[in-house]
Amino acid sequence: MDVDEAIRSRRTHKAFGLEPVPRSQLEELFELARWAPNHRLTNPWRFRVLGPRALARLKQAAGSEAASKLDRAPTLISVTTIDSGDPVRSQEDLCATACATYAMLLAAHGRGLAGYWRTPEVLQSPRGLAALQIPPEERFVALVHLGRPRQERRPPERLAPAEVVTYLD
């Protein structure tokens, strides 16, 4: 798939098939994610693929109302970044981790998978972080839902470049 087409055609999906993404495919996605731009080559991203017990702990921490949203996709990946304590480096590392996450989503799309980048409230809480064994020196970035799509999604409206770009002298 052409890069331009991948960027324009990737969509957020909330309806997935039941089959988990095979580990070999996940390894391919993580391999590509690590090529995200990363100033100082700190490799700050951390990926945790949730198994059944981790998912159960997260659902318990989320509570019954929010837990149902965690069942949407057959494969969930928690993405965190290392917080160095240095505000400039931590900001650079956060941005690099977001780029790695997007690279992973684009690569998944190129393989016919659907994805959903979430930032659920439970993973902003100590209980949610503990459920996924995320240590204090890591900052939560995303909970990525992956699987085969069960629906087609239309592109959303986007602002034109002229509405968001300013050329400075």
CA distance 17 to 146: 10
pLDDT digits (tens, 9 = 90+) for 118-151: 999 999 999 999 999 999 999 999 999 999 998 8
CB 58 within 8 A of CB 131: yes
Q: Which domains does the chain have, with CATH numbers?
A: 3-164 (3.40.109.10)
- Specify the 3-state DSSP secondary structure of 63: coil
pTM: 0.92
Residue percentage of the chain with pLDDT more than 70: 100
Q: Give phi and psi for 103, each to the nearest 5.
A: -60, -40
* Residue labelled with tokens 């957020």: 12
Residues in contact with 137: Cβ distance below 8 Å, sequence separation at least 6, in sequence order: 82, 83
Distance in Å from the first CA to the final CA of the chain: 37
Secondary structure (3-state) at 166 = coil
Between the CA of residue 148 and those of 22, 111, 113, 116, what are the distances in Å?
A: 11, 10, 5, 11
Please give the distance of CA 9 from its chain centroid, rounded to a whole number. 17
pLDDT digits 0-9 by tens, 37-92: 998 999 999 999 999 999 999 999 999 999 999 999 999 999 999 999 999 999 99
